[in-house]
């Protein structure tokens, strides 16, 4: 017997046919005891394997028990090998992530490390333990950081006891109460914790703002000369109206105003003087008479 005619192989393939609805369930009656044992083990394994989460992994036990009465059971297991990293260590790690970002240690009521890039602001805090478990206490701390600086976009919870500074990044809306929609849509899940530098890099890649290149128009930053502007506008309006095919007094009035634009500019200058009150009807009537 060679590898090609192993009857167990044929049974497995026939079982796959059965699973796919292509054939009835195969029997094992034709197999000898050894072959039957092997075939049953394969098929039982296939039955047990179906549905296992091949693409993911379960949360850590500490994360599963966080905030429950059982949390104290695993709390003593939380250790900090090699001593606590401090915020300076976190700042050093973050500083190497992206040269465009600025990193500072914030010595505030809730000491943290602030990473800034344009208007993206992320704060990182250290929590004890090997995994960044967001307990009620940590959730409160994160909430206070968002409340103290509403411009904060993300808060990173860094596990001080992990070798790679495992970090759970959170947005403000992710620490609020979960709302399940009537349509049964799955609630949003947090991003999985990553080592600090990877978590920061992912955040920058996904959330860093992109500003288009810009420059100031030098012609528009000079002081505005209201009088000149008013004279220019008056000149354009009078020239346009004088050029129209009006008849009688209207035609004569507009034509008489040509060259008198400075009178309007002077009027605008006086109107814009602080505390100056003018009757614009009287003033425009006076200008019309001067022109006539």
Partner 1 sequence: MSKELAHPARVAHPLVADRARLDRIVDNMAAQIHWVIYGRGRDATNERALPGGESADDVLQEALIALLGYSPARLKTTWEALSVGIARKKAFTALRRATRGRRSSTSASGEPDDVTVVPLEFTMTDIRDRSGAADPELVYEQTQQQLVLLRLARERLTGRERRVFFGIHFDGVTRAELAEEIGITAQGVGQLYLRVAKALYAAARHDPDFPTTHGVPERRTT
Binding partner 1 (rule: CB under 8 A), the pick from 30, 44, 137, 226 is 44
Binding of partner 1 at residue 81 (CB under 8 A)?
A: no
Minimal distance in Å, beta carbon 9 to partner 1? 5
Site for partner 1 in 170-199 (CB under 8 A): 178, 180-181, 184-187, 189
Residue 174 and residue 207: Cα distance in Å, rounded?
15
With contacts defined by CB under 8 A, name the span among 32-40, 86-94, 234-242, 262-270 that binds partner 1: 32-40
On whether the CB atoms of residues 257 and 242 are closer than 8 A, the answer is yes
Minimal distance in Å, beta carbon 110 to partner 1? 28
Binding of partner 1 at residue 78 (CB under 8 A)?
A: no
Question: Which among 158, 105, 154, 107 has a CA at the least distance from the CA of 128?
Answer: 158
Q: Which two tokens stand for residue 62?
A: 């500490």
Binding partner 1 (rule: CB under 8 A), the pick from 26, 30, 31, 59 is 59
Minimal distance in Å, beta carbon 24 to partner 1? 10
Q: Which two tokens stand for residue 102?
A: 């600025």
Binding of partner 1 at residue 73 (CB under 8 A)?
A: yes
Residue 114's region, left for phi above 0, alpha for psi from -120 to 50, else beta, is beta
Q: Residues near 260 by Cβ (< 8 Å), separated by ≥ 6?
A: 238, 287, 290, 291
Binding of partner 1 at residue 246 (CB under 8 A)?
A: no
Residue 76 and residue 20: Cα distance in Å, rounded?
49
On whether the CB atoms of residues 139 and 66 are closer than 8 A, the answer is no
Minimal distance in Å, beta carbon 45 to partner 1? 6
Residues that bind partner 1 in the complex, under the rule CB under 8 A: 1, 6, 8-9, 12-13, 16, 18-21, 34, 37-38, 40-56, 58-59, 61, 64-65, 68-74, 77, 178, 180-181, 184-187, 189
């Amino acid at each position: 017997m060679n590898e090609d005619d192993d009857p167990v192989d044929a049974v497995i393939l026939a079982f796959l046919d059965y699973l796919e609805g292509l054939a009835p369930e195969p029997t094992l009656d034709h197999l000898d005891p050894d072959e039957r044992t092997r075939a049953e083990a394969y098929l039982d394994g296939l039955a047990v394997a179906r549905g296992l989460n091949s693409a993911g992994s379960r949360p850590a036990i500490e994360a599963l028990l966080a905030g429950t009465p059982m949390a104290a059971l695993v709390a003593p297991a939380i250790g900090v090998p090699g001593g606590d990293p401090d915020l300076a260590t976190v700042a050093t790690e973050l500083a190497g992530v992206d040269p465009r970002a600025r990193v500072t240690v914030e010595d505030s009521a809730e000491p943290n490390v602030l990473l800034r890039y344009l208007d993206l602001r992320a704060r990182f805090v250290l929590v004890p333990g090997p995994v960044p478990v967001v307990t009620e206490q940590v959730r409160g701390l994160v909430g206070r950081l968002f409340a103290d600086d509403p411009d904060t976009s993300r808060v990173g919870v860094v596990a001080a006891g992990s070798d790679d500074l495992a970090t759970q990044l959170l947005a403000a809306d992710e620490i609020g109460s979960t709302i399940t929609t009537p349509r049964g849509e799955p609630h949003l899940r947090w991003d999985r914790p990553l080592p600090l530098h990877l978590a920061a890099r992912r955040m920058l890649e996904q959330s860093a703002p992109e500003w288009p290149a810009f420059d100031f128009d030098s012609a528009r930053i000079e002081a505005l000369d209201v009088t000149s502007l008013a004279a220019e506008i008056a000149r354009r309006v009078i020239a346009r109206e004088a050029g129209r095919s009006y008849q009688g007094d209207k035609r004569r009035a507009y034509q008489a105003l040509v060259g008198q634009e400075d009178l309007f500019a002077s009027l605008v200058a006086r109107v814009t003087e602080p505390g100056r009150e003018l009757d614009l009807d009287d003033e425009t009537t006076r200008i019309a008479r001067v022109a006539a």
